[in-house]
Amino acid sequence: MSNPAYPTVEARPEEVIARLRALCAAGDHQFWEDGVSLLDESLFRGVMIAGHQQIADTCLLGLAVRRGGKLATFDRTIPLKAVIGAEGKHLELLGGAA
């Protein structure tokens, strides 16, 4: 969120950390361990990942699908088809149109 590439958010790293602490302290917060692998052919379609920029977000989307949750992101290029079972309900796009 402190990356200047996200034009809709202006925050210093320490502000982002403070926001993250507040979110983690919320009663409905749940920590999800990174328990998915791109090698899992029952969850990922590697052929649908267009490039290195999509790898981390595709993994996070896979984690959201596996846990029955939703990935909140500014990135509008995450390929739903790369994650088996992924639907629009698993992805929350933040910010204005990009």
pLDDT value for 87: 96
- How far, in Å, CA of 41 to CA of 43, rounded? 5
Phi-psi region of 21 (alpha: psi -120 to 50; beta: other; left: phi over 0): alpha
For the entire predicted model, the pTM comes to 0.74
pLDDT value for 71: 93
pLDDT value for 60: 95
Angle, CA of 15, 52 and 44, to the nearest 5°: 100
| Phi, psi values for residue 92, rounded to 5° | -115, 110
pLDDT profile of the chain (98 residues), mean per 10: 68 86 89 91 95 92 95 90 96 74
pLDDT value for 8: 66
